Amino acid sequence: MLDIKYDLKNIEEKRKTVKGRLFQESANIKSESFGKISEEDLYLLFELYDEIFLCRWFRQKFRGKIKFKLSRQLTRSAGNTRTRKNISAIKPEEVEFEVKISLNHLMNFNKAERIKYVGGIEAASVLDSLMLVFEHEICHVIEFLVKHKSSCSKKPFMELINNIFGHTEHTHKLVGAGEANISEYGLKPGDSVKFTYGSSTMEGFIQKMNRKATVMCPDKHGNYIDKSGRRYVKFYVHPESFIKEG
Ligand SMILES: [Zn+2]
């Protein structure tokens, strides 16, 4: 799709160059495990990637706009790229993209102690994870521009991202809100919990963990009925609201 292909060693070196420049030029990102980031950093990252990996392909060919955003809404995907459907019918200078990077995945990065991967590549730090997700989204933008559609589960995308960034997968194994809460609060599905609701103390069990826990509380008027005929009411409870005992 682009006439660019690097070997893994070269890719590693280029990522190091991007990091070095980022540490110099970003107001927030000064180390691998930064605690602050702004949308300006995403614009800076884009410039650096265009220069260091993409031979200024965007500067030379791209006439449209890309809006970069840090998103708190993205929970399952770590990034997202959108453009209008009729991109082939739009004048080049009117083409617009919105690239979102999930803030949740960055904030949760260290909340589980296991190896994390993005695109089949190990992310050893929160900066790695940001960069690998960014690489994935940039390839979506390139594919949209060249092919007028983009799908990361298909072969052309995988070829593109493998050639330039060495990714071997289109998925990530970063830390979602559920897993972060499990390790932060020690709570998992099946656990019995108590919490305050109005003036009463509720008891139930955790059915699912996301940013909030889904808790099922026995109640003879409840709308949820299990296999043995017990009825429950469902609550969404922030993990901090559980009453700790003992
Ligand atoms: Zn994708």
Distance CA 2, CA 58 (A): 11
Distance from the alpha carbon of residue 154 to the mean position of ligand 1, in angstroms: 10
So where are the chain's domains? 8-175, 180-241
Distance from the alpha carbon of residue 41 to the mean position of ligand 1, in angstroms: 21
Distance from the alpha carbon of residue 78 to the mean position of ligand 1, in angstroms: 9
Q: Is the pTM of this model over 0.75?
A: yes
| 152-183 pLDDT tens trace | 999 999 999 999 999 999 999 999 888 888 88
Distance from the alpha carbon of residue 11 to the mean position of ligand 1, in angstroms: 20
Mean pLDDT of 90-104: 95
| 181-234 pLDDT tens trace | 888 888 889 999 999 998 999 999 999 988 899 999 999 999 999 999 999 999
Beta-bridge partners for 97? 66, 83
pLDDT at 244: 78
For residue 202, what are the CA distances in angstroms to 55, 154, 217, 232, 242? Answer: 60, 48, 7, 12, 10
Distance from the alpha carbon of residue 227 to the mean position of ligand 1, in angstroms: 39
Instruction: Decide: helix, strand or coil at residue 145.
Output: helix
